[in-house]
Amino acid sequence: MSSVVVFGAYGHTGQFVVAELQGRGFTPVVSGRDEGRLRALGFDARPATVDDPAALDRALAGAAAVINCAGPFAVTARPVAAAAVRAGIPYVDVAAEIEANADTFAAFDGRTDTTIVPAMAFFGGLGDLLATAAMGDWTAADEAHVAYGLSGWHPTNGTRVAGAVSRERRDGRRVRYSGGCLEYHDDAPRTLTWPFPTPREVVAEFSMADVVTIPSHLAIPSVCSYLTVDAVRDLAAPDTPAPSGRTAQTFVVDVVVRRGDAERRATATGRDIYATSAPLAVEAVERILSGRTRAVGVASAGAIFDPVDFLRALTGVTVEIDGYDPSRTYVRKELTRG
């Protein structure tokens, strides 16, 4: 079957992606800056660094697609995507960095017919697919809310580095999507209770890549994401250990879109946020290569794929669409900005 380059293949998420590709019959080609770690993986190894376009071109030569798993994506996304454009092959990444994803849309929107799908991962891609599925026949909504209920979070070193890069780029400020644009602010974070199947305390406006992916194609002027307090503490603590292999971490992603007094909802549950990024990214590549897309150029997951069909095809993820129960209170006062 087709060969797919995984850039950053020896990283935590990269190894899940390589295994997913192999399990689906693709031939993984591994790339990144550390030749020794690449060769230890046992696949065709093509070392390359993002500051060497010629090496990137050699790494992608003859491949059907490339999946970028190497953060920080503020450094890697644009050069690897540009190499994919030169090679004429699809580019998919697993970036969770808000600014890096915004940069990718800005750099390639309207400038290429090569398929480029940023944030095709747990953060960004999954929420976008759920929000798009929840919208159904709505062409616009007033708000989208994406609540992440994690049992805990053992962040990888790559996650920590990417977070540090994002904080530096925004001068330590927080970010939200409101009034149709990204806003940077110094407001203190607040908490509220989100009614997952079991109500849990979440940090409000803990913005993820959804504030880029969802409004990139949906007419929703306000997008807010939430993260459980325990996961925020794990992420902030410097001594939280990094994950090793697939973990027992569980998650629920609860998405509500609101138009006037009407609300629609889509929910996904599963295990291990990093491992879940692998079937998301590989399913995307498989659909692009088989022509099951509905957009060209740079596009988010919800824009380029049939969201309901995609979500139901995911392995290891259980999805409920438009299952909003009006007896469950979503604390309208807290969820509606004044």
- Do 14 and 81 fall into the same domain? yes
Question: pLDDT at residue 256 above 60?
Answer: yes
Beta strands in 151-289 (DSSP E): 174-178, 181-185, 191-194, 200-203, 223-228, 250-259, 262-271
Give the model's pLDDT for residue 332.
43
- Do 233 and 295 fall into the same domain? no
- Do 147 and 241 fall into the same domain? yes
Question: pLDDT at residue 324 above 60?
Answer: no
Question: pLDDT at residue 323 above 80?
Answer: no
Question: pLDDT at residue 328 above 60?
Answer: no
- pLDDT tens-digit readout, 175-228: 999 999 999 999 888 999 999 989 999 999 899 999 999 999 999 999 999 999
- Do 194 and 328 fall into the same domain? yes
Section 84-103 average pLDDT: 97
Alpha-carbon distances, residue 327 vs 148, 235, 331, 336 (angstroms): 21, 33, 12, 18
Question: pLDDT at residue 1 above 90?
Answer: no
Give the model's pLDDT for residue 197.
86
- pLDDT tens-digit readout, 103-148: 999 999 999 999 999 999 999 999 999 999 999 999 999 999 999 9
309 belongs to a structural domain: no
Question: pLDDT at residue 232 above 80?
Answer: yes
Question: pLDDT at residue 296 above 60?
Answer: yes
DSSP output for 85-133: HHHT--EEE----HHHHHHHHHHHTTT--S-EETT-SIIIIIHHHHHHH
- Do 201 and 57 fall into the same domain? no
CA 308 to chain centre: 17
Residue 150 is given by DSSP the state E
- Do 232 and 134 fall into the same domain? yes
Lowest mean pLDDT: which of 32-46, 52-66, 179-193, 213-227? 179-193
Please give the share of the chain, as a percent, with pLDDT higher than 70.
Answer: 95
Question: pLDDT at residue 336 above 80?
Answer: no
- Do 171 and 127 fall into the same domain? yes
- Do 42 and 139 fall into the same domain? no
* Residue 244 belongs to domain spanning: 123-273+317-335
Closest-CA residue to 72 (of 8, 152, 155)? 8
- Do 94 and 168 fall into the same domain? no
Question: pLDDT at residue 320 above 90?
Answer: yes
Number of domains in the chain: 2
241 belongs to a structural domain: yes
Reported pTM: 0.94
Please give the share of the chain, as a percent, with pLDDT higher than 90.
Answer: 91
DSSP output for 41-86: TTSEEEE--TT-HHHHHHHHTT-SEEEE--S-HHHHHHHHHHHHHH
- Do 47 and 109 fall into the same domain? yes
Question: pLDDT at residue 78 above 90?
Answer: yes
- Do 244 and 258 fall into the same domain? yes
Residue 240 is given by DSSP the state P
Question: pLDDT at residue 100 above 50?
Answer: yes
- Local confidence band at 327 (pLDDT 50, 70, 90 cut-offs): low
Give the model's pLDDT for residue 325.
52
- Do 141 and 254 fall into the same domain? yes
Per the CB < 8 A criterion, the answer to whether 65 and 89 are in contact is: yes
Q: Are strands 223-228 and 143-150 parallel, antiparallel or unpaired?
A: parallel
- Local confidence band at 20 (pLDDT 50, 70, 90 cut-offs): very high
The CATH code of the domain that includes 19 is 3.40.50.720
Cα–Cα dist 278/158, whole Å: 16
Give the model's pLDDT for residue 337.
32
